[in-house]
Structure 1
Amino acid sequence: MAIPTIKLKPQRPERLTHPWIYDNEIGAGPGADFTNGGLVRVLDARGKTLGVGYLNSRSKIAVRYLTRKNVPVDDAFWRARVQAAFDYRAARYAADGGAPPAYRLIHGESDGIPGLVVDIYQDFAVAQFLALGLEPWRDVLVQSIAEITGVRGVYERSDSTVRKLEGLEEQTGVLWGEEPPEIVEFEHDGSILLADVKTGGKTGLFLDQIDNQRAAAREAVGRTVLNCFSYTGLFSLRAARLGAKSVIDVESSVAFNAVNAKQWERNGLDVPHEIVSENVFDYLRARDRFADKFDMIVLDPPAFTKNRASREGAVRGYNEINRTALHCLRPNGVLVTCSCSHHLSTAEFREIVESAAADAGRSLRLIAQRGQPPDHPVLLSAPESEYLKCLILAVD
């Protein structure tokens, strides 16, 4: 069956390899009878075929490429993509004896399935369908995920606001097999972790931070630790497991804190632990006025900017939170500071933290600079896929 075509305006060289086409880059096509979410063949300004993708004229990201090759996009195509994503993770974790009990199976464009995120939690897969073009292929994708991974159930968490940008309603529920429990429990690095896959953040946990949590915990031995924007407290749990003297978690969400408390109880640790339900900025400003300081502070905030228009405000926010945290650290302390804003590069984030240190009158030495784990791969032709930054710093 013939695929409708679109023709692009002249593009800069770097745009020719990017997996997205913005709405203002399309010169002509695909025709008035085209249904959004369908496939289109992409031609450059001279008429040369660049590939096939799905188009949504209601979205700023109008086209998401699926393939640059002359291959049919059918059920076999999608199953092969899911299998390739599974095999990629198997290769990355082969030296560990296999994948961990929780990991990211599909990471959107980086796995050639734009708009799809799938995380595995023990025996359940949790999926987010975030692009209109995925809707016609739901059944084959869900069936492929179930068959290839061997999970007991596939649960949908398409409750992200990104869906609205695609003209889609948010939706959740069982897609295949068994319904997951309210809390999925699994063992990892000797700890029992809890994931609220139905109503928690993202798909239940922020799996991209697991390796960074491990690295940060190595610096926590014998230290008093303050974990800010703690979510369910995994930075703190791992720090306590490796020898932290005490930990305090600060998180504004009462629901997340309830999971944190239950998780701490399930692990039976005797390290002093306090959970504070408060705005982090307010908490740090208040602590700055007291002489009692911390040996280690973790900052893992949500993205302060999700578009370029709010970038300036985000820079101020990152500066303030890092500057205030540095005021609350003892000499020879450790600061673990993170950003998941892809509109800030690693170099820009480092400059912000360095500026905050200068404002606070502190000197920083870089212990480690970290990013995303191997199950959240960065696609080099898509700078947006590299979003996570984690700096572990010695503070004089």
Structure 2
Amino acid sequence: MIDVILKKGKEKAVMQRHPWLFSGAVERVKGKPANGDVVRLVDAQGKFLAYGFYNSQSRVALRLLEWNEDVQINDDWFRKKIGVAVNGRANILADGNTNTCRLIFSEADYLPGLIVDKYADYLSLQILTSGIENNKAVIIDELQKLLKPKGIFDKSDAGSREHEGLETTSGVLAGSPPPELVEVKENGLTYGINIAEGQKSGFYCDQRDNRRIVAEHTAGKKVLDCFSYTGGFTLNSLRFGAANVTSVDSSALAIDTLKKNIELNKLDAAKHSAIQSDVNKQLRKFKEEGEKFDVIVLDPPKYAPSRSALDRASRAYKDLNRIAMLLLNSGGLLATYSCSGAMDIDTFKQVLAWAALDAGKEVQFIYQFCQPEDHPVRASFPEGEYLKGLLCRVI
């Protein structure tokens, strides 16, 4: 096995078991490992530190896997990690009210670059690193053995694969192709999920708990669900007795699927209206028209993909939340989220404070949202904590 020598003084993060080693920390490489090969990381004196996936094209030169020199990174190692991750989600699926969740969450489950989501009898798989790509066969085999899905679909179409020297891929990896809409259950509600054409892996199961919590505040209320996608917050609000719900999303496919989901759950379509539009434009239109709401949900896409984008993203979050605050009746609730890992909760609170000041509003934070248990945060990898949100009372 090829040795990668660490620069002197760069041992701290490795010893603290952070799974990323950036290229600037590498002193030299003995030999010429291929991208995705497992290598030994050693210190300047040649002492073993960890095993990891190597990639010469990525800023993250090594994705560390194992700190015990006696452990072999082989097929059995991957099978064990997959089994532990899958078994750790069993309680989420136990009562039958939910049959969709994230089974494997990349670094958080010690498999950097592998994401696996369960949608009823189908699995959606994303491979984002060359090391996982090299071990795709054993991964697919173990998933089939453990879960016996009807099909496994490849959604490895993320642009981040380019940084690993990988082309984007999509299509059936095993079993049968999924139907146009796979019906899944989450907290007792049924959703039609378009795995092949939907965003990300097909659905946002990271908001499972938060949808229910917000919905508990919507009985008899006028609700606005922004960036509604296929209707997670909308459906829950209607089920909990909202007077009416308006859903806004720029995707025609998402809006169409949302309407089908309302029919699927036999919810009152007369209490719902859907608008296909850019959310920022639509919020400004509502303001011009004098519209007011009791509850507004803001669940935008990732505005800050990296720390370098944080200032620009903060301005975008502030403007979005400022307009939403102006559309709320006094005492109304704003459920607002950021899925940008680069923005921590304290910065997000500060952004909302600025938005409130500009809007001339007072804001109380009455609940703090986070990602659910199938999106765990590894103690040595705080970067895995990406989803945060606040339920705000706006006065």
Short-chain TM bin: over 0.9
For 1:129, the equivalent position in structure 2 comes to 127
For 2:287, the equivalent position in structure 1 comes to 288
Query: CA offset at residue 165 of structure 1?
Result: 1.3
Query: CA offset at residue 192 of structure 1?
Result: 1.6
Structure 1 unaligned spans of 5+: none
SS at match of 2:117: strand
For 1:339, the equivalent position in structure 2 comes to 338
Measure the CA separation in 1 of the matches of 2:102 and 2:316.
29
Task: Please say if residues 98 and 185 of structure 2, whose CA atoms lie closer than 8 Å, have aligned partners that are also in contact.
Answer: no
What amino acid maps onto 1:88 in structure 2?
A: G
What amino acid maps onto 1:76 in structure 2?
A: D
Query: CA offset at residue 99 of structure 1?
Result: 8.4
Measure the CA separation in 1 of the matches of 2:92 and 2:197.
29
1:305 aligns with 2:308: no
Task: Please say if residues 79 and 140 of structure 1, whose CA atoms lie closer than 8 Å, have aligned partners that are also in contact.
Answer: yes
Query: CA offset at residue 261 of structure 1?
Result: 1.6
TM-score of the pair, normalised by structure 2: 0.96
Task: Please say if residues 98 and 188 of structure 2, whose CA atoms lie closer than 8 Å, have aligned partners that are also in contact.
Answer: no
For 1:159, the equivalent position in structure 2 comes to 157
Match of 1:255 among 231, 253, 256: 253
Counting matched residue pairs gives: 391
Q: Mean Cα displacement is larger for which, 258-267 or 161-170?
A: 258-267
Task: Please say if residues 107 and 377 of structure 1, whose CA atoms lie closer than 8 Å, have aligned partners that are also in contact.
Answer: yes
Structure 2 unaligned spans of 5+: none
Task: Please say if residues 98 and 187 of structure 2, whose CA atoms lie closer than 8 Å, have aligned partners that are also in contact.
Answer: no
What amino acid maps onto 1:146 in structure 2?
A: Q
Task: Please say if residues 340 and 389 of structure 1, whose CA atoms lie closer than 8 Å, have aligned partners that are also in contact.
Answer: yes
Task: Please say if residues 186 and 208 of structure 2, whose CA atoms lie closer than 8 Å, have aligned partners that are also in contact.
Answer: no
What amino acid maps onto 1:268 in structure 2?
A: K
SS at match of 2:155: strand
Q: Deviations over 1:231-271 (max 9, x none)?
A: 11110110110011101111111111111121122222125
SS at match of 2:320: helix
Aligned pairs for 1:64-213 (under 5 A) are 64-69=63-68, 70-90=70-90, 92-93=91-92, 97=95, 100-213=98-211
What amino acid maps onto 1:389 in structure 2?
A: K
1:276 aligns with 2:275: yes
Query: CA offset at residue 152 of structure 1?
Result: 1.7
Q: Mean Cα displacement is larger for which, 261-270 or 278-287?
A: 261-270
Measure the CA separation in 1 of the matches of 2:208 and 2:135.
31
Task: Please say if residues 89 and 99 of structure 1, whose CA atoms lie closer than 8 Å, have aligned partners that are also in contact.
Answer: no
Query: CA offset at residue 190 of structure 1?
Result: 3.2
Task: Please say if residues 14 and 49 of structure 2, whose CA atoms lie closer than 8 Å, have aligned partners that are also in contact.
Answer: no
Measure the CA separation in 1 of the matches of 2:18 and 2:30.
20
For 1:29, the equivalent position in structure 2 comes to 29
Root mean square deviation, CA, Å = 1.5
What amino acid maps onto 1:211 in structure 2?
A: D
What amino acid maps onto 1:248 in structure 2?
A: T
SS at match of 1:171: coil
Task: Please say if residues 120 and 185 of structure 2, whose CA atoms lie closer than 8 Å, have aligned partners that are also in contact.
Answer: no
Measure the CA separation in 1 of the matches of 2:294 and 2:19.
44
Measure the CA separation in 2 of the matches of 1:15 and 1:330.
51
For 1:318, the equivalent position in structure 2 comes to 317
Identity rate of aligned residues, in percent? 37
SS at match of 1:201: coil
Task: Please say if residues 97 and 187 of structure 2, whose CA atoms lie closer than 8 Å, have aligned partners that are also in contact.
Answer: no
For 2:350, the equivalent position in structure 1 comes to 351
Measure the CA separation in 2 of the matches of 1:215 and 1:46.
54
SS at match of 2:40: strand
Measure the CA separation in 2 of the matches of 1:53 and 1:12.
15
Query: CA offset at residue 150 of structure 1?
Result: 2.4
Measure the CA separation in 2 of the matches of 1:30 and 1:283.
57
Query: CA offset at residue 317 of structure 1?
Result: 0.2
Query: CA offset at residue 50 of structure 1?
Result: 1.4
For 1:18, the equivalent position in structure 2 comes to 18
Measure the CA separation in 1 of the matches of 2:355 and 2:326.
10
Q: Mean Cα displacement is larger for which, 271-280 or 324-333?
A: 271-280
Aligned pairs for 1:361-380 (under 5 A) are 361-380=360-379
